[in-house]
Amino acid sequence: MDAQFWHDRWQRRELGFHREHVNPLLRDHLSQLPLTAGQTVLVPLCGKTRDIAYLLSQGLQVVGVELSETAVRELFAELFADSDIEPQIQQYSNYIHYRVDHLSVFVGDFFAIQTEQVGSIDAVYDRAALVALPESMRRDYTAHLRKLTDAAPQLLITYEYDQTVIVGPPFSISHEEVRQHYASHFDIAKLFEAEVEGGMKGKTASTESVYLLRRRP
Known binding positions for S-adenosyl-L-methionine = 10, 45, 66, 127
Tally: H helices and E strands in the chain: 7, 9
Q: Are the C-beta atoms of residues 3 and 11 closer than 8 Å to each other? A: no
Max Cα-Cα span within the chain: 49
Q: Which residues of 3-28 are buried (b: 16+ CB within 10 A; e: fewer)?
A: eeebeebbeeeeeebeeeebbebbee
Cα 78 to the center of its chain, rounded Å: 18
**Residue 23, helix vs strand vs coil:** coil
Contacts 24+ apart (CB under 8 A), 189-194: 189/214, 191/29, 191/32, 192/25, 192/28, 192/29
Could you list the residues known to form a binding site, using ranges.
Answer: 10, 45, 66, 127
